[in-house]
A = this chain, B = another copy of it.
Amino acid sequence: MITIGLDMMGGDFAPIQAVKGVISFLQESPNDTRIFLIGDETSILSELEKNNFNSPNISIVHTSQVIEMHEHPTKALKEKQDSSIAVGFHLLATEKIDAFISAGNTGAMMVGALFSIKTIEGIIRPTIGAYIPREDGSLGLLLDVGLNADCKPENLNQFAMLGSLFASQILKIENPKVGLVNLGEEEGKGNLLAQAAYPILKENAQINFIGNIEGRDVLLNKADVMVCDGFTGNVVLKLAESIYDIVKRRKINDAYFNQFNFEVYGGVPVLGVAKPVIIGHGISGENAFKNMISIACKMVDADFTGKIKTSVL
């Protein structure tokens, strides 16, 4: 039995969309998952009732506080011990749940992941990535997308390994191609970071390094795992996200650009911490929550964090 903790108070549409996501997940998936719905019991029960749903696979963990989106992460986590995020991490740290998911305050989720759960030994810095939709319908993984604004070459090497593991184990991409986001294709191109990272990636036998990829390759399936510093990745991700808004505003209905609706993907896990933690987009909807629960289950099932431990040894 896999147990997943879900913050019901996180995201712009809490707890409505989270409840819908749970229902949608449980209606499709086998019965070996138990989901802890962490949040205000009355609101959760009311939403479950509205949807006329009950299941032995859900348990409500009542919490009386909520960390709002604008709150200071460390301060809020410390002061709001009975918030859904603080309780979630407590359950995860004490092994009551196998994974924790929230679309709430990103900073608080990061602080919780890094300090309640800790980094896997050998991992210099955990990373957070994002799915990148490609024209052929597949998903690429771009990382880091903002957790590590300044990086050292060795960080990029670990992002490449973490991303490759996630792509192969969870996204089921066989021998995922790793590309180094750069300003030119040839070896030797780039800023100091990219120039120094290239030979390290090239020599890393644990990954399938295909070389540099340029900005024009990000939306193609040239590489499955695209590594860069968190500054570049964040700008790239937000630019890609903005394309969807433009497409909708201009009433363009195109199968590919519709995939730029990043809210459907939910969130990508924080890679490198000792237990599965998934941070969702604030605008996560039903599908996003369903996808995040599904990804969390796959991570637990595959002993993903255990595999990271083995591969960094």
A residues sitting closer than 8 Å to B (CB atoms) are: 135, 146, 149-150, 181-183, 190-192, 194, 214-220, 228-232, 234-243, 245-246, 249-250, 252, 254, 256-257
Nearest CB of chain B from residue A105's CB, rounded to whole Å: 14
Residue pair A150, B192 in contact (C-beta under 8 Å): yes
Q: Name A251's closest neighbour in chain B (CB-CB).
A: B254
> Could you say which of B183, B217, B231, B235 contacts A146, with CB atoms under 8 Å apart?
B183
> Could you say which of B182, B191, B242 contacts A229, with CB atoms under 8 Å apart?
B191
Q: Name A189's closest neighbour in chain B (CB-CB).
A: B149
Chain B residues lying within 8 Å of A252, measured Cβ to Cβ, are 252, 254, 257
> Could you say which of B135, B190, B234 contacts A215, with CB atoms under 8 Å apart?
B234
Starting from the known contacts A191-B231, A218-B239, A243-B243, 8 additional A-B residue pairs (CB-CB under 8 Å) come to A149-B190, A181-B235, A215-B234, A218-B235, A219-B239, A220-B242, A232-B232, A235-B236
Q: Name A145's closest neighbour in chain B (CB-CB).
A: B183
Chain B residues lying within 8 Å of A232, measured Cβ to Cβ, are 231-232, 235
- Residue pairs across A and B with Cβ atoms less than 8 A apart, 29 shown, are A135-B249, A135-B250, A146-B183, A149-B191, A149-B194, A183-B230, A183-B231, A183-B234, A191-B229, A214-B238, A215-B234, A215-B236, A215-B237, A215-B238, A215-B240, A215-B242, A216-B245, A217-B242, A219-B239, A219-B246, A232-B235, A235-B236, A236-B239, A239-B240, A243-B243, A250-B254, A250-B256, A250-B257, A252-B254
State in angstroms the CA–CA spacing of A234 and B232 once bound together: 10
Residue pair A231, B190 in contact (C-beta under 8 Å): yes
Q: Name A255's closest neighbour in chain B (CB-CB).
A: B250
With A236-B239, A246-B219 as contacts: A231 and B149 at CB distance below 8 Å: no
Residue pair B239, A246 in contact (C-beta under 8 Å): no
Nearest CB of chain B from residue A180's CB, rounded to whole Å: 11
Residue pair A216, B241 in contact (C-beta under 8 Å): yes
Q: Name A149's closest neighbour in chain B (CB-CB).
A: B191
Closest 6 CB pairs of A and B: A215-B238, A183-B234, A149-B191, A215-B239, A216-B242, A215-B235
Q: Name A195's closest neighbour in chain B (CB-CB).
A: B149
Chain B residues lying within 8 Å of A240, measured Cβ to Cβ, are 215, 239
